[in-house]
């Protein structure tokens, strides 16, 4: 195999972009083998733009066609695990779009299917290609920051007006999207959080459901994270603030790190605050601090193209994945824990996350969803459109 033949399942916003990137030669070791969508108009759009492209009206036919070595699942969220599992069973490598799924129980099943196969499994966490976050992660792993005392991430600059929520029938309901800001806009940041700082041990949250918009899902979140080592975290996100903020602040023994506008600033103590505290005798004495601009490529990285390049290389040469699909459950567990705390007011044990309880409460949300009420029928987990 010289190039990976990729099947694209879902020709919506992301699927369209993925096909264009590969067809334009941005991923040299990958080609598009076929496209699948169960909406006839989208298949016609594929044929019009790529006349020689094989198309399929359902995923099973694409999986069994023999035209693809791997697939990317670019469908509504509920479908990601079930389609990935079927693809593994058909002997295909898999990339899933974010989020890994809507609830951890289905993602655990997907991870188990991946483990049983001998195929590569990736997830489209394209923010891991951003050199700024890669540099920050290296600094943390090297111990440059010392003990991390507090992490605060305010990420409110993805404003979404009511027109956005009204733009598609599957948006912003429990039955069809499975959540709001946390499941749609935030998966990348929740992944980056656990990728850099590790999984929190406990989460308590206050969540606004339809606080700013005529929707039933979350659009305003304030979550508090606790770690057994004493680190605390604040995660603040909303889709109803304009212009909004994207600021990551880390208070640590060696000072303070701020990531804003894709730039890392390190106000670095000459000695750690804890060491200073041991030797200082002045009532208001502070450690000497230097303002440092941390050098890092601020281009944002290769994003989706970078993930595809890395994935294709892993398939062809058995190299390490930048974003293993199995890790998708980590950010989703944080998301589910925030939702669970928001619904119940409880502090959620992340280490021993109650997967079945969350699933049961989500099913109740689905049963009372506005989509179910409008259609007067039971809405199953799998969305009807790719």
The pTM (predicted TM-score) of the whole model is 0.95
Minimum mean pLDDT range among 113-117, 155-159, 316-320, 379-383: 379-383
Question: Which tokens is 214 given?
Answer: 């005529």
| Confidence at residue 373, expressed as pLDDT on a 0 to 100 scale | 52
Question: What letter would DSSP give residue 325?
Answer: G
Evaluate if residue 156 carries a pLDDT over 70: yes
Res. 374 pLDDT band, cuts 50 70 90: low
Residues 6+ apart with CB under 8 A from 72: 6, 7, 8, 9, 15, 18, 94, 95, 96, 97, 124
Evaluate if residue 377 carries a pLDDT over 80: no
d(CA 263, CA 272): 23
Evaluate if residue 171 carries a pLDDT over 80: yes
| Angle formed at CA 291 by CA 298 and CA 226, multiple of 5 degrees | 80
Evaluate if residue 42 carries a pLDDT over 60: yes
- What mean pLDDT is predicted for residues 228-257? 98
| Confidence at residue 238, expressed as pLDDT on a 0 to 100 scale | 98
| Confidence at residue 169, expressed as pLDDT on a 0 to 100 scale | 84
Res. 376 pLDDT band, cuts 50 70 90: very low
Contact by Cβ (8 Å): 19, 11: yes
d(CA 227, CA 199): 8
Res. 1 pLDDT band, cuts 50 70 90: confident
Q: What values do phi and psi take at 251, rounded to 5?
A: -95, 125
Question: Over the stretch 66-81, which tens digit does the pLDDT of each residue have?
Answer: 999 999 999 999 999 9
Evaluate if residue 47 carries a pLDDT over 50: yes
Q: What domains lie within the chain, and their CATH numbers?
A: 4-126+302-325 (3.40.50.720), 128-298+331-375 (3.30.360.10)
Count of beta carbons in the 10 Å neighbourhood of residue 118:
9
DSSP helix/strand/coil, 247:
strand
Q: DSSP H helical segments within the chain, as ranges? A: 13-23, 40-49, 59-63, 79-89, 104-116, 131-142, 162-165, 181-184, 187-197, 273-279, 303-317, 328-344, 355-367, 370-375
Res. 372 pLDDT band, cuts 50 70 90: low
- What mean pLDDT is predicted for residues 185-203? 98
DSSP helix/strand/coil, 280:
coil
Question: What torsion, rounded to 10 degrees, do the Cα atoms 254, 258, 259, 260 define?
Answer: -170
Res. 383 pLDDT band, cuts 50 70 90: very low
Question: Which tokens is 136 given?
Answer: 């920050």
Res. 170 pLDDT band, cuts 50 70 90: confident
Evaluate if residue 242 carries a pLDDT over 60: yes
Evaluate if residue 31 carries a pLDDT over 90: yes
d(CA 132, CA 127): 10
**Residue 162: which of 210, 209, 206 has the closest Cα?**
210
Evaluate if residue 270 carries a pLDDT over 90: yes
């Amino acid at each position: 195999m010289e190039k990976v033949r990729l099947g694209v399942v879902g020709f919506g916003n992301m699927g369209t972009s993925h096909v264009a990137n590969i067809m334009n030669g941005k991923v040299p070791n990958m080609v598009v083998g076929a496209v699948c969508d169960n909406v006839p108009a989208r298949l016609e759009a594929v044929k019009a733009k790529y006349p020689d492209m094989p198309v399929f009206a359902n995923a099973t036919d694409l999986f069994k066609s023999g035209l693809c070595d791997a697939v990317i699942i670019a469908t509504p969220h509920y479908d990601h695990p079930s389609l990935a599992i079927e693809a593994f069973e058909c002997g295909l490598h898999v990339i899933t779009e974010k989020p890994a799924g809507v609830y951890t129980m289905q993602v655990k099943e997907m991870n188990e299917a991946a483990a049983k196969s001998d195929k590569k499994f990736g997830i489209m966490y394209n923010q891991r290609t951003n050199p700024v976050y890669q540099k920050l992660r290296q600094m943390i792993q090297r111990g440059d920051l010392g003990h991390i005392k507090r992490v605060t991430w305010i990420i409110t600059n993805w404003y979404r007006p009511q027109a956005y929520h009204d733009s598609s029938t599957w948006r912003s309901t429990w039955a069809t999207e499975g959540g709001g800001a946390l499941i749609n806009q935030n998966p990348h940041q929740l992944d980056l959080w656990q990728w850099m700082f590790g999984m929190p041990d406990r989460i308590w949250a206050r969540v606004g459901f339809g606080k700013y918009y005529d929707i039933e899902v979350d659009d305003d979140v304030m979550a508090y994270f606790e770690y057994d080592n004493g680190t605390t975290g604040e995660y603040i996100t909303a889709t109803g603030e304009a212009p909004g903020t994207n600021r990551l602040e880390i208070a640590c023994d060696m000072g303070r790190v701020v990531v804003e506008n894709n730039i890392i600033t390190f106000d670095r103590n000459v000695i750690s605050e804890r060491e200073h505290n041991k030797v200082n005798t002045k009532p208001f004495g502070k450690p000497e601090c230097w303002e440092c601009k941390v050098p890092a490529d601020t281009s944002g990285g290769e994003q989706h193209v970078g993930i595809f390049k890395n994935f294709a290389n892993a398939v062809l040469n058995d190299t390490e994945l930048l974003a293993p699909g199995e890790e998708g459950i980590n950010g989703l567990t944080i998301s589910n824990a925030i939702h669970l705390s928001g619904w119940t007011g409880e502090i959620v044990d992340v280490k021993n996350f109650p997967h079945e309880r969350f699933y049961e409460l989500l099913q109740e949300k689905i049963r009372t969803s506005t989509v179910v009420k409008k259609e007067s029928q039971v809405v199953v987990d799998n969305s009807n459109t790719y």
